[in-house]
Amino acid sequence: MVGDSARAHASLEQASLELGVIGNCAIAALIDEAATVSWLCLPRLDGEPVFNELVGGEGRFSVELNGYAESHQNYIRNTGVLETILRSEDGSAVKVTDFAPRFFDRGRLFRPASIVRRIEPVGGMPTIKIDLNPQRARGSETMPSERGVSHIRYKDPEAGFRITTDAPMSYVLDGRAFVLDSPISFILGPDESLSDNIAVIAHDWLERTVEHWRGWSRRLGTPA
């Protein structure tokens, strides 16, 4: 079954706490080596844990690669941008790039309660499934959702949010597998419309966040 090996791998990695962290001082998320967002609180660091698989809940945002065999995870050098490579038994592979936007815009620090996830094929013809299951009330119930043209609105008076994506919506909502033949992006954030095409925004925020972190890291006094 698609994702069984990935789920088993994710559980093992959670037990060992081998997790990557992304954040921008407004929110932070923990991501395991199988590219599952297993912990995220909204709308603040101390808010509702909408993704809570880390502590035994069913709230998660995962990318399940058919025939999953192995993964490799690292940060883009001198940044807080996390990259996870998932490889399948037949050699197909995808790269998952995760970050929380943080950069200066018009002289002010831009750090929304948002995370960006970009998934791109890097080998073969990978087949993936998106498992998107946020929870509320400390994991006691699934957060209700409402579909838009290119977004999913998750409803909650305190921790409600929107995910905007250029992925095939019906496949995402139904949890069905599809062939990833071009990059797709997800922007999770406040329940507001985006000002531009999602791919354009995701790419722009990625470049500006990388530039911000590299500028910040250059000021650190690290050992030679």
Predicted confidence pLDDT, tens digits, the chain (224 residues):
444 444 444 444 444 588 999 999 999 999 999 999 999 999 999 999 999 999 999 999 999 999 999 999 999 999 999 999 999 999 999 999 999 999 999 999 999 999 999 999 999 999 999 999 999 999 999 999 999 999 999 999 999 999 999 999 999 999 999 999 999 999 999 999 998 899 999 999 999 999 999 999 988 876 65
Q: Which pTM does this prediction carry?
A: 0.90
Sole residue written with tokens 């921790």: 159
Cα 76 from Cα 8, distance rounded (Å):
27
Q: Which two structure tokens, joined as six digits, stand for 206? A: 């990625």
pLDDT at 69: 97
Burial of 150 (0-12, 13-18, 19+ CB in 10 A): middle
The torsion angles phi and psi of 140, rounded to 5 degrees, stand at -85, -15
Q: Give the H/E segment covering residue 209.
A: helix 198-217
pLDDT at 195: 86
Give start and end residues of each alpha helix (H) in the chain: 4-16, 169-174, 198-217
